[in-house]
Chains A and B, each alone.
Chain A
């Protein structure tokens, strides 16, 4: 396959970026999107030009490192797919493909297509954990957990923190990410103990980072590679309200 790429090139957060056109020739339809970028980069090295910087690690859809906006859609046109799991057979020979980084004020561009997602780590540090004593691993079945709750918690725990929800949201809102973390922990008995202060502190941190607000559209849910649902945002809305009431009344 031969393709034309329009790639966002940006030196750093302080320098304005722009689209630059590249040819991607002799691409196998079986390559992943990242492998296609590797081929383009090898060409650039041969020509002595600066390579296109992009984030990646596991290349099997579980680490949450890769993430590109491809033709205006986070992680490309397929549902439930990370950029590394997207194959070139999804495109047609001769296509022009626009490649951009996640765009959000809390995700400043480090270089080209790589953004700084430390804002997510700071949100996790504000409450996305449970406080437990260290020591030997407890027996897995010591605390009975209803199957429905376990299923919902595991669905929420699928979130890999890639940031596609922020990238796709017209308001650059991080609600789906935060809601997945809040839901995953608060649905389980170990996480219920710190439920109120967790949701209060994580939402406060999310707001301080400068993410936008949820307008209940569902772009996040549509692009999420792990199919995290809006139900989690509704749950977070409930838990936050509950925590506010308890905080005011106590």
Chain B
């Protein structure tokens, strides 16, 4: 029986749409956007750690970031698109996964799994809630509008003072530290997983990628949490 060529080879438009429609394509979207967000998290932490170097360093850094609005807004829009894609793809994949097993097993234990990989959806959604608060708090000034009007001795926005006053509120600091704990969990699975989704991991390299994920997730947690802890302890004033 002759098989039509059409059924063997999808059209170009069909192939393009597979990136979003297929299970593997959507995992590429998760992996690439996840890696992008991971790189942002590292860069954001390294930038903020400059608070330990004094008022001048961190305020200069903040001023530099905002000095080229075109670049700043390009980065902001790219990040927003990446976050939205990561969330929509993640929720769609999770819903499809739930549909695939309508009847649960009597024993709920998942072989070879960790707490991190079973809680990716919930840790991700709580981190999203944190991001919304964090942006409202420090970037948009919805929570405390006066934050954006702090000025240092050189007439620049006083980011250092904003951070110190912001984290002096123990509720803010506790929510921050809990969210960073969830980010630690999320990254400890996600950073290694994205290399598998992109086909870059193997039995030979899985040990390296798992370590990379755990160590980098822990460093992000420690680096970020050190700031509110240092402020609450009165080391940064």
Show the binding face of A for B, using Cβ within 8 Å. 6, 17, 19, 69, 71-74, 98, 100, 103-106, 168, 170-173, 175, 196-197, 200-201, 203-204, 206-207, 210-219, 221-223, 229-231, 233-241, 243-244, 247-248, 250
Q: Closest approach, in angstroms, between the C-beta of A156 and any C-beta of chain B?
A: 13
- A-facing mask of B68-95, CB < 8 A → 1, else 0? 0000000000000000000000000100
Residues in A neighbouring B201, C-beta threshold 8 A:
230, 234
Does A237 lie within 8 Å of B196, measured CB to CB? yes
B46 CB-CB contact with A under 8 Å? no
Assess whether A241 is in contact with B97, with CB atoms less than 8 Å apart.
no
Tell me how far the C-beta of B125 lies from the nearest C-beta in chain A, rounded to whole angstroms.
Answer: 16
- B97 in contact with A71 (CB, 8 Å): no
A237 touches B197 (CB 8 A): yes
A241 touches B113 (CB 8 A): no
Interface 0/1 of B139-154, CB less than 8 Å to A: 0000000000000000
Most B CB contacts (10 A, CB to CB) among A69, A104, A241 go to A241
CA distance A98 to B108 in the complex (A): 12
**Which of B23-31, B54-62, B159-167, B169-177 touches A?**
B23-31
Would you call A104 and B100 a contact (CB within 8 A)?
Answer: yes
Query: Known contacts A203-B22, A218-B112, A231-B202; is A210 also within 8 Å of B105 by CB?
Result: no
- Docked CA distance A98–B117 (Å): 26
Q: Which 4 A-B pairs have the closest CB atoms?
A: A72-B107, A238-B199, A212-B100, A237-B199
B10 at the interface (CB under 8 A from A): yes
A219's partner among B8, B21, B110 (CB-CB below 8 A) is B110
Report A-chain residues with C-beta under 8 Å of the C-beta of B12.
247-248, 250
Contact A214 B23 (CB under 8 A): yes
Q: Which residues of B contact A234 (CB under 8 A)?
A: 196, 199-202
